[in-house]
Chain A
Amino acid sequence: MTAEVQNHLDTSRELLCVRELSLEYLRRNPFAAVRIETAALRDVSFDLRTGETLALVGPSGSGKSSLARCLVLLERPSTGRILYGGQDILTLSPDALKAVRKEIHLVFQDSASALNPRRTVEQLVAEPLVIHDAASGARKIKERVAEVLDQVELGNSWRCHRPRELSGGQRQRVAIARALVLRPKLLILDEALSSLDLSAQAQIANLLLDLQERHSLAYVYVTHDVRMAGCLAHEVALLDAGRIVYRGLPAEVLTPNLQPVS
Chain B
Amino acid sequence: MSMNSGHRQLLLLFSLVLLHVFMVVPGFFAPYDYSEQNRELPFSPPTRLHFIDSAGRFHLMPFIHPFRASEDGSAPYVEDQARAYPLHLLKDGAPYRVLGLWTARLHLFGVEQPGRIFLFGTDDFGRDELSRMLFGGRISLLAGILGAAMAIFAGAVLGVLSGFYGGWLDGLIMRTAELFLALPWLYLLFAVRAILPLHIKTTQTLLLLITVVGLVGWARPGRLVRGIVLSAKERNFALAAKAMGASNFHVLRWHILPGTYGVLLTTAALLVPQFILAEVTLSFLGLGVGEPVPSWGSLLAELQNYSVLTSYWWMYLPACSLIVLFLTYHWASTTLQDKVAEVRS
Contact = CB atoms under 8 A, between A and B. Distances in A.
Interface residues of B, number: 16
Contacts of B255: 116
A162 to B, nearest CB: 12
Contacts of A160: none
Interface string A69-111: 0001110000000000000000000000110011001101010
A114 B258 CA distance: 16
B236 interface: yes
Interface residues of A, number: 21
A27 interface: no
Contact of A131 (B235, B237, B250): B250
B243 A106 contact: yes
Nearest to A107: B240
Contact of A101 (B235, B239, B245): B245
A114 B28 CA distance: 54
A105 B243 CA distance: 7
B254 interface: yes
Nearest to A188: B243
Contact of B245 (A98, A113, A115, A116): A98
B237 A113 contact: yes
A130 to B, nearest CB: 8
Contacts of B258: 118
A16 to B, nearest CB: 16
A131 B236 contact: no
Given A113-B235, A114-B237, A116-B254, A73 B246 contact: no
Output the residue of B245, B254, B255 with the most chain A CB within 10 A.
Answer: B245
Contacts of B247: 131
A74 B243 contact: yes
Contact of A128 (B235, B237, B239, B244): B244
A31 B257 CA distance: 38
A126 to B, nearest CB: 11
Contacts of A105: 243-244
A132 interface: yes
Nearest to A100: B245
Nearest to B245: A101
A114 B245 contact: no
A73 B244 contact: no
B246 A114 contact: no
A188 B115 CA distance: 84
A127 interface: yes
B241 interface: yes
B201 interface: no
Interface in B196-218: none
- Listed residue (A72, A97, A102) with the most chain B CB atoms within 10 angstroms of its CB: A72
Nearest to A131: B246
Given A98-B245, A102-B245, A114 B240 contact: yes
B242 interface: yes
A101 B246 CA distance: 10
Nearest to B255: A116
B70 to A, nearest CB: 68
A198 to B, nearest CB: 24
Given A127-B254, A131-B250, A115 B243 contact: no
Nearest to B240: A114
Nearest to A112: B236
A70 to B, nearest CB: 11
Contacts of A73: 243
A102 B237 CA distance: 17
B239 to A, nearest CB: 6
A97 B247 CA distance: 12
B244 A127 contact: yes
A112 to B, nearest CB: 9
Contacts of A110: 236
Nearest to A106: B243
Contacts of A97: 245
Given A98-B245, A110-B236, 15 more contacts: A72-B243, A73-B243, A74-B239, A74-B243, A97-B245, A101-B244, A106-B240, A113-B235, A114-B240, A116-B237, A116-B254, A127-B244, A130-B250, A131-B246, A131-B250
8 contacts: A72-B243, A74-B242, A74-B243, A105-B243, A105-B244, A114-B240, A127-B254, A131-B241
Q: Which 9 A-B pairs have the closest CB atoms?
A: A101-B245, A113-B236, A72-B243, A116-B237, A114-B236, A131-B246, A98-B245, A106-B243, A114-B240
Interface of B: 235-237, 239-247, 250, 254-255, 258
Interface of A: 72-74, 97-98, 101-102, 105-106, 108, 110, 113-116, 118, 127-128, 130-132
